[in-house]
């Protein structure tokens, strides 16, 4: 057993199923129609861009995860590379986003269950009735119980659910490709919105949301057998497999869509097909396929919610271990190897996010977008640790890191820009404000020396967030259109390269690091 009390019960199949299961949640059920609405048939390119972006960041995470197989690693890496402020920010972003994602998936499962069980949904907006909310709470309690029993029980349940989650989309691809209409790819233009549509589809059409599943693998890193080998293989395999399935699903959706649905072009296709693959199956007279889609529409979100119910307590545990959250959550049950206090908090947060208040649902949308921001931190952490801990053992070492690291950071920053000003204008000021409060509290407690130390190693974060706000406000993605799409992209890439180099030089000195082997 690792020194932190967690149990090494996860193998390669378990970890790959965690990654694939986290990526393959409710996204596939909605995203095909939404991205086609924005980009038309060129949405195929959007899926490839999203997959490449996440894979590049995944390769960086492979190096970090193999070198530092720490519980809640996504929180611990910034703490190890840039100190308390970076660790605090990552803990805050990830805890709120992960716990809200549990709620998003459970609400989706309840909405689809309403197709078979009456009385769960109150109105067209999808708000639950009292019975519907109780059903959500019951499902959350079941996921809580599975995780309370330990990582081995969770892994067995997750593997079974993920296999089913894979079989149904595979069936959809095979059946719908048999009804392919090649003219659908050109009838209204391959890219009706041009390059801007392709880019917007990546950030706002649901593609990045669909791919957000890398970090749960890292959250259980210290519970993996042979982590130095298993983590890189599982990360690459889960992203690669998901990318292939997503592209095939998009091609099947576009090609099998009956011509009657395309009479007015691709605009509003997502509105006209609220459950895309179920609607197409019914239109084609494929009742059995439609039944399997609805069944998977309930199981897939529940399975992904189960994964985040496991990952979130590990993030809270890591957040507590870095000293910027309550230390009571940094305790692990000696028999089950589960951080029970953190799991209870996770259950409470997830239950809270399911309460039917529209403003809270809007907040969930904002903090879910923050996960891409957490991905952007990975290349920064990796380059900083390479520079100040060059002798650290790295079982997986990224080839061409000098080029790949700034490229991955630039792509992540571009995706954030494409997310749009309406989201970033709330998200980034909130994070800046909370970081400022954290600095003030540390200054009050420890004085000017600590303040200078924090600013020296985390000052780039404030500049990065501020610069992103300026670029987003001036750009064409919900901003003032002072910059064209091409000029906004170019300015963002140049900005990202500068920040990447600066942040890489802002690493902690070696003496201030916690031991890399300590979970």
213 or 73: whose pLDDT is higher?
73
Q: Tell me what the pLDDT averaged over the chain comes to.
A: 84
Kindly tell me if the per-residue pLDDT of 351 is higher than 60.
yes
Residue 172 lies in a domain: yes
Q: What share of the chain is helix, strand, coil (3-state, %, to 5)?
A: 75, 0, 25
pLDDT at residue number 410: 93
Residue 455 lies in a domain: yes
pLDDT at residue number 405: 94
Residue 431 falls in which region: left (phi positive, over 0), alpha (psi -120 to 50) or beta? alpha
pLDDT at residue number 513: 53
Residue 407 lies in a domain: yes
- Top mean pLDDT of 54-68, 108-122, 352-366, 444-458 is at 54-68
pLDDT at residue number 26: 67
State pLDDT tens for residues 25-40. 767 777 788 888 888 8
Cα dihedral angle (322, 324, 328, 331), rounded to 10 degrees? -20
Count Cβ atoms within 10 A of the Cβ of residue 259 and give its class: 0-12 exposed, 13-18 middle, 19 or more buried: exposed
Q: At what angle do helices 151-177 and 227-256 cross, to 10 degrees?
A: 30
Find the mean pLDDT for residues 10-33: 81
Scanning 1-129, the segments in alpha helix (DSSP H) are 12-23, 27-39, 43-67, 73-82, 84-113
Residue 381: partners with Cβ closer than 8 Å, 6 or more residues away = 64, 77, 78, 80, 81, 82
- Percent of the chain surpassing pLDDT 90: 22
Reported confidence tier of residue 517, pLDDT bands at 50, 70, 90 = very low
Residue 400 falls in which region: left (phi positive, over 0), alpha (psi -120 to 50) or beta? left
Kindly tell me if the per-residue pLDDT of 499 is higher than 90.
yes
463 or 426: whose pLDDT is higher?
463
State pLDDT tens for residues 445-470. 777 777 788 888 989 999 999 999 99
Find the mean pLDDT for residues 30-59: 86
Find the mean pLDDT for residues 258-278: 80
Residue 138 lies in a domain: yes
State pLDDT tens for residues 333-345. 888 888 999 999 9
Nearest-angstrom CA–CA distance, 74 and 94: 8
Kindly tell me if the per-residue pLDDT of 516 is higher than 50.
no
Residue 163 lies in a domain: yes
Buried b (16+ CB within 10 A) or exposed e, 165-197: bbebbeebbebbeebeeeebbebbeebbbeebb
Residue 161 lies in a domain: yes
Find the mean pLDDT for residues 432-447: 81
368 or 224: whose pLDDT is higher?
224
pLDDT at residue number 74: 85
Reported confidence tier of residue 324, pLDDT bands at 50, 70, 90 = confident
Whether the CB-CB separation of 117 and 155 falls below 8 Å is answered with: no
Find the mean pLDDT for residues 238-245: 88
Reported confidence tier of residue 512, pLDDT bands at 50, 70, 90 = low
Residue 217 lies in a domain: yes
Whether the CB-CB separation of 167 and 315 falls below 8 Å is answered with: no
Taking Cα atoms as reference points, which of 205, 254, 238, 218 lies closest to residue 19?
238
Nearest-angstrom CA–CA distance, 5 and 26: 33
For residue 186 the two structure tokens come to 């050109």
- Percent of the chain surpassing pLDDT 70: 92
pLDDT at residue number 273: 80
DSSP, collapsed to helix, strand or coil, labels residue 332 as coil
pLDDT at residue number 188: 75
Kindly tell me if the per-residue pLDDT of 519 is higher than 80.
no
Nearest-angstrom CA–CA distance, 254 and 42: 10
**Residue 126's CATH number:** 1.20.1740.10
Domain interval for residue 73 = 12-509
Residue 138: partners with Cβ closer than 8 Å, 6 or more residues away = none
State pLDDT tens for residues 368-381. 677 788 888 999 99
Whether the CB-CB separation of 318 and 70 falls below 8 Å is answered with: yes
Residue 62: partners with Cβ closer than 8 Å, 6 or more residues away = 231, 232, 235, 236, 396, 398
Find the mean pLDDT for residues 183-198: 80
Q: At what angle do helices 130-148 and 340-353 cross, to 10 degrees?
A: 160
For residue 424 the two structure tokens come to 């970033």
Residue 274: partners with Cβ closer than 8 Å, 6 or more residues away = none
DSSP, collapsed to helix, strand or coil, labels residue 368 as helix
Question: How many separate domains does the chain show?
Answer: 1
Find the mean pLDDT for residues 48-60: 87
Reported confidence tier of residue 195, pLDDT bands at 50, 70, 90 = confident
Kindly tell me if the per-residue pLDDT of 441 is higher than 60.
yes
Whether the CB-CB separation of 163 and 16 falls below 8 Å is answered with: no
Phi, psi of 128 (to 5 degrees): -80, 150
Taking Cα atoms as reference points, which of 227, 204, 209, 236 lies closest to residue 57?
236
Q: Dihedral sign for Cα 125, 131, 137, 139, please.
A: negative
Find the mean pLDDT for residues 40-62: 88
Residue 516 lies in a domain: no
Mean pLDDT check: name the lowest of 375-379, 440-444, 486-490, 491-495. Answer: 440-444
């Amino acid at each position: 057993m690792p020194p932190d009390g967690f149990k090494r019960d996860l193998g390669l199949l378990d970890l790959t199923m965690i990654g694939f299961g986290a990526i393959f949640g409710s996204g596939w059920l909605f995203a095909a129609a939404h991205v086609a609405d924005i980009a038309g048939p060129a949405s195929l390119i959007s899926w490839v861009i999203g997959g490449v972006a996440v894979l590049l960041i995944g390769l960086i995470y492979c190096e970090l995860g193999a070198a530092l197989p720490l519980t809640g690693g996504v929180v611990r890496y910034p703490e190890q590379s840039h100190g308390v402020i970076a660790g605090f920010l990552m803990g805050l972003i990830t805890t709120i986003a992960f716990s809200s994602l549990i709620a998003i998936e459970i609400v989706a499962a309840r909405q689809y269950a309403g197709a078979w069980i009456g009385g769960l949904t109150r109105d067209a907006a999808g708000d639950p009735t009292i019975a519907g909310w109780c059903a959500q709470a019951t499902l959350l309690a079941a996921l809580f119980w599975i995780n309370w029993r330990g990582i081995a029980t969770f892994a067995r349940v997750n593997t079974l659910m993920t296999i089913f989650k894979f079989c149904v989309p595979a069936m959809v691809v095979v059946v719908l490709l048999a009804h392919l209409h090649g003219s659908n790819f050109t009838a209204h233009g391959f890219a009706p919105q041009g390059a801007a549509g392709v880019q917007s589809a990546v950030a706002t059409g649901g593609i990045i949301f669909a791919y957000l599943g890398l970090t749960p693998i890292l959250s259980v890193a210290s519970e993996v057998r042979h982590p130095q080998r298993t983590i890189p293989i599982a990360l690459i395999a889960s992203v690669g497999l998901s990318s292939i399935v997503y592209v095939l699903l998009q091609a099947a959706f576009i090609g099998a869509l009956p011509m009657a649905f395309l009479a007015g072009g691709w605009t509003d296709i997502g509105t006209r097909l609220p459950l895309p693959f179920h609607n197409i199956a019914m239109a084609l007279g494929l009742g059995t396929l439609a039944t399997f889609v609805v069944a998977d529409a309930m199981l897939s979100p529940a399975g992904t919610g189960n994964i985040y119910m496991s990952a979130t307590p590990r993030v809270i545990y890591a957040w507590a271990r870095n000293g910027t959250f309550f230390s009571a959550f940094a305790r692990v049950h000696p028999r089950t190897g589960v951080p029970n206090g953190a799991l209870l908090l996770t259950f409470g947060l997830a239950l809270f996010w399911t309460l039917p208040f529209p403003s809270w649902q809007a907040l969930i949308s904002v903090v879910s977008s923050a996960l891409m921001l957490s991905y952007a931190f990975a290349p920064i952490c990796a380059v900083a640790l390479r520079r100040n801990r060059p002798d650290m053992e790295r079982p997986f070492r990224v080839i061409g890191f000098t080029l790949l690291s700034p490229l991955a950071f630039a792509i992540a920053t571009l995706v954030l820009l494409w997310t749009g000003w309406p989201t970033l204008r709330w998200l980034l000021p909130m994070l800046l404000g909370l970081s400022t409060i954290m600095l003030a509290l540390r200054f009050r407690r420890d004085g000017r020396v600590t303040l200078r130390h924090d600013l020296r190693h985390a000052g780039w974060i404030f500049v990065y967030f501020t610069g992103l706000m300026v670029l987003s406000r001036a750009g064409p993605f919900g901003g003032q259109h002072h910059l064209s799409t091409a000029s906004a992209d170019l300015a963002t890439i140049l900005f990202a390269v500068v920040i990447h180099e600066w942040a890489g030089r802002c690493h902690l000195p070696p003496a201030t690091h916690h031991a890399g082997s300590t979970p």
